[in-house]
């Protein structure tokens, strides 16, 4: 059931606050994925293998947990399979696989910033697919975001950044937009925990086809990885990547979409690039040039203008999580 914020201001504020807290929590955990995943790739795993370990472990954790706590959430009506398959393919497997391909070739901070052009893509979807007229300020924000993107990518230097890495992260941005849009649609009829579980299972199957789990080299998994001043085993980083940067992050993010719209959630999620860049600086020693930093500010500012001027949307009431 949808609640009109204008008709119930107190409920609307409560839902917005809850949704805001959840999406910010998700952004913090999502933002650690590059800092946790890149050392595993540096140690010898391919981007596809890291994505397989991440989604495979996450799917296993969620499936066991939901089956023990509330197995009814695993039931799927015939008409829901199409949406769940698209969510798992694009919103889970597509985002993660393409993101790791990108960070293996370009710095984590740049990758995460370029991925977050997704709010602009969502604005285009709302305007041209949903046929919703957008205010002029939104187009100004889009222009600023694209200008900032140009500075971050430094296209005047002949794409000094790896072209394949940039292509992968642009495709990841498209998948990220799909994640928000399909998530908003899915939680209108399904509990977020059930949707994330099935999305993770489907996503894990997809990446396991690309990089089967038995191809993961045991010697690399038990070997050390350079993570700031520490050298933990690679498998420890992969478990942390699955639990914190995936299970908790996806669950918080999808639950937030029961309280705020996809367009609002996508701009609140812009905290993730800040976290990712800070984590890459702290643990991986990666830095950005002043031009790229300025471009990042312009990009995020433009995306913020887009979202602040987006049409008002209804907020959906949520079913509480088990327990």
- Per-residue pLDDT of 42-99, as tens digits, reads 999 999 999 999 999 999 999 999 999 999 999 998 889 999 999 999 999 999 889 8
The token pair at 136 is: 């002029």
pLDDT at 202: 96
What is the crossing angle of helices 47-69 and 33-43, to 10°? Answer: 130
Instruction: Kindly provide the b/e burial profile for residues 92-123, where b requires at least 16 CB atoms within 10 angstroms of the residue's own CB.
Output: bbbbbbbbbbbbbbbbbbbbbbbbbbbbbbbb
| φ and ψ at residue 217, rounded to 5 degrees | -75, 120
User: Each residue of 281-306: pLDDT tens digit?
Assistant: 888 887 777 887 888 788 878 877 87
pLDDT digits (tens, 9 = 90+) for 188-211: 888 999 999 999 999 999 999 999
Look at residue 319 in the predicted model and tell me its pLDDT.
Answer: 37
Do 234 and 43 contact (CB within 8 A), yes or no? Answer: yes
pLDDT in tens, 239-296: 999 999 999 999 999 999 888 877 778 777 877 777 877 788 888 887 777 887 888 7
Q: Which residues face 142 on adjacent strands?
A: none
Average pLDDT (204-222) is 94
Cβ neighbour number for residue 12 with a 10 Å cutoff: 17
* Overall average pLDDT of the 221-229 stretch: 92
Tokens of 59: 């799917």
> Which tops the pLDDT comparison, 197 or 153?
197
């Amino acid at each position: 059931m949808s609640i009109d914020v204008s008709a119930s201001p107190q409920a609307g504020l409560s839902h917005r606050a809850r949704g805001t807290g959840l999406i910010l929590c998700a952004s913090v955990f999502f933002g650690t994925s590059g800092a946790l995943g890149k050392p595993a790739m540096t140690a010898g795993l391919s981007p596809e293998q890291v994505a397989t370990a991440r989604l495979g472990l996450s799917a296993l954790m969620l499936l066991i947990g939901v089956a023990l706590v509330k197995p009814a959430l695993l039931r799927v009506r015939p008409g829901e399979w199409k949406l769940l398959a698209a969510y798992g393919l694009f919103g889970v497997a597509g985002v993660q696989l393409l993101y790791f391909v990108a960070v293996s070739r370009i710095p984590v901070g740049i990758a995460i910033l370029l991925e977050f052009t997704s709010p602009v893509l969502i604005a285009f979807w709302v305007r041209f697919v949903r046929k919703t007229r957008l205010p002029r300020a939104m187009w100004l924000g889009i222009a600023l975001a694209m200008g900032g993107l140009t500075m971050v990518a430094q296209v005047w230097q002949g794409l000094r950044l790896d072209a394949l890495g940039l292509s992968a992260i642009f495709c990841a941005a498209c998948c990220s937009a799909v994640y928000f849009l399909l998530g908003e649609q899915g939680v209108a009829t399904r509990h977020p925990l059930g949707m994330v579980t099935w999305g993770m299972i489907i996503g894990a199957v997809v990446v396991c086809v690309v990089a089967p789990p038995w191809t993961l080299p045991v010697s690399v998994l038990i070997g050390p990885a350079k993570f700031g001043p520490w050298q933990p085993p690679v498998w420890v980083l992969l478990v942390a990547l699955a639990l914190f940067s995936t299970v908790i992050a996806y669950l918080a993010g999808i639950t937030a979409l029961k309280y705020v719209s996809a367009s609002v959630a996508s701009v609140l999620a812009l905290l993730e690039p800040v976290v990712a860049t800070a984590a890459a600086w702290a643990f991986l020693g990666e830095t950005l040039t002043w031009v790229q930093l300025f471009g990042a500010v312009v990009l995020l500012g433009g995306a913020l203008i887009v979202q602040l001027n987006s049409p008002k949307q209804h907020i959906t009431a949520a079913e509480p999580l088990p327990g």
